[in-house]
Amino acid sequence: MDVELRHLKALVAIADRGTITAAAAALHMTQPALSRTLAQLENRVGVRLVDRSSRRPALTPAGRTLHDHGRAILAHLDAALADTAAVSRPLRVGYNCAVLGRLTVPLLRSWRQRAVPAVPLELHRRDNRSAGLASGDVDVAVVRALPGDPRITTEALYWEERLAALPDDHPLAGRDRIVLAELAGDTLALCRDLSTTSLELWPPERRPHRVVEVRNVDEWLGAICTGEAVGIASAGAAESHAHPGVRYVPLADAPAVTVYLAYPAHPTHPGTEDFLAAVRALAADGEG
């Protein structure tokens, strides 16, 4: 039938954008040019694909079928092109507060010693919930809060203890262990976009009396070390962010934090599966 990629892109754009005008703008085409492309596609497949009888064109049953296949074809092409380009670049690993805590260095060392694949790793901190996955800045990520994006697959790796992060001159900083209620009189530093912490951790009658919001781990550490606030962290974050003005004290009554491995439904680097396998194996050994 000699259907070309531009035909499939036109059909997908019309379905996604809802109008010929909006689809043409998205494809950087004129409206007449897009209409001609659609008509050409319909002539080549021999069936009407878009019902133009109303102000908003709608896909016919045949159009929906071709649209679904066309979207999959375009996604596979994007993945193939990304794989081709990725062969010569490092595998980008995203994180927002910590990578794998005490397992980070063993991971980097074991990966570097592998003969195959000969792919270097690059760690990228991104101060958003998906750690750069949603924007395509990274190929895989380690997160401690679910990204909430249907394009991203997550799997639980292991659990980490939750700790209180206190100024080093805080009355509780010298304790071996405390409970959440002992922080009720303090101000809590909270990064809502990244944190696994919320006031729901505390019983309603014993919650911190004030919350100060920060944008990233640097501002979070700054608020704590200056005595402005206290914080709650996972063991991995504490491992990655030691600070001379901050003391991390285990919390006896706080639930553990789940560490997730996150990756796109369509891998953006050919080394992704090898990396996932390496992290799973390391996490299993660490748990043992």
> Looking at the domain covering 162-255, what would its CATH class be?
alpha beta
Same CATH topology for 5-86 and 162-255: the answer is no
From CA 218, how far away is CA 241, in angstroms rounded?
Answer: 9
Q: What is the pTM of this model?
A: 0.67
Residue 65 has pLDDT above 90, yes or no: yes
Domain ranges of the chain: 5-86, 91-159+258-287, 162-255
The model's confidence at residue 117, banded by pLDDT at 50, 70 and 90, is low
Residue count of the chain: 288
The model's confidence at residue 227, banded by pLDDT at 50, 70 and 90, is very high
Residue 288 has pLDDT above 50, yes or no: no
What sign does the dihedral 34-71-78-265 (CA atoms) show? positive
Q: Are 161 and 256 in contact (CB under 8 A)?
A: yes
Cα end-to-end distance, the chain, whole Å: 58
The per-residue pLDDT for 285 is 84
Residue whose structure tokens are 């159009």: 63
Q: Are 37 and 70 in contact (CB under 8 A)?
A: no
The model's confidence at residue 22, banded by pLDDT at 50, 70 and 90, is very high
Q: Are 248 and 238 in contact (CB under 8 A)?
A: yes
Residue 114 has pLDDT above 80, yes or no: no
The β-bridge relationship of strands 121-125 and 91-95 is parallel
Q: Return the percentage of the chain with pLDDT > 70, whole number.
A: 96
From CA 75, how far away is CA 5, in angstroms rounded?
Answer: 12
Residue 281 has pLDDT above 80, yes or no: yes
What lies within 8 Å, CB to CB, of 28 at 6+ separation is none
What lies within 8 Å, CB to CB, of 130 at 6+ separation is 94, 141, 143, 147, 149, 152, 262
**AA identity, residue 81:** L
Q: Are 232 and 224 in contact (CB under 8 A)?
A: no
Ranges of H-type helices in the chain:
5-17, 20-26, 31-45, 61-86, 104-113, 217-225, 235-240, 272-287
The model's confidence at residue 62, banded by pLDDT at 50, 70 and 90, is very high
The model's confidence at residue 92, banded by pLDDT at 50, 70 and 90, is very high
CATH number 2.70.180.20 is the correct assignment for the domain at 91-159+258-287: no
The model's confidence at residue 87, banded by pLDDT at 50, 70 and 90, is low
Q: Which CATH number fits domain 5-86: 3.40.50.300, 3.30.300.130, 1.10.10.10, 3.90.79.10?
A: 1.10.10.10
- Of residues 114 and 13, more confidence is placed in 13
From CA 112, how far away is CA 29, in angstroms rounded?
Answer: 47
Other C-beta atoms lying within 10 Å of the C-beta of residue 106: 13
From CA 214, how far away is CA 96, in angstroms rounded?
Answer: 13
**Across residues 165-188, what is the average pLDDT?**
95
Q: Are 176 and 250 in contact (CB under 8 A)?
A: yes
The per-residue pLDDT for 266 is 86
Nearest to 69 by CA among 1, 140, 137, 134: 1
From CA 70, how far away is CA 10, in angstroms rounded?
Answer: 10
Enumerate the β-bridge partners of residue 95: 125, 142
Lowest mean pLDDT among 116-120, 187-191, 265-269: 116-120
The per-residue pLDDT for 55 is 77
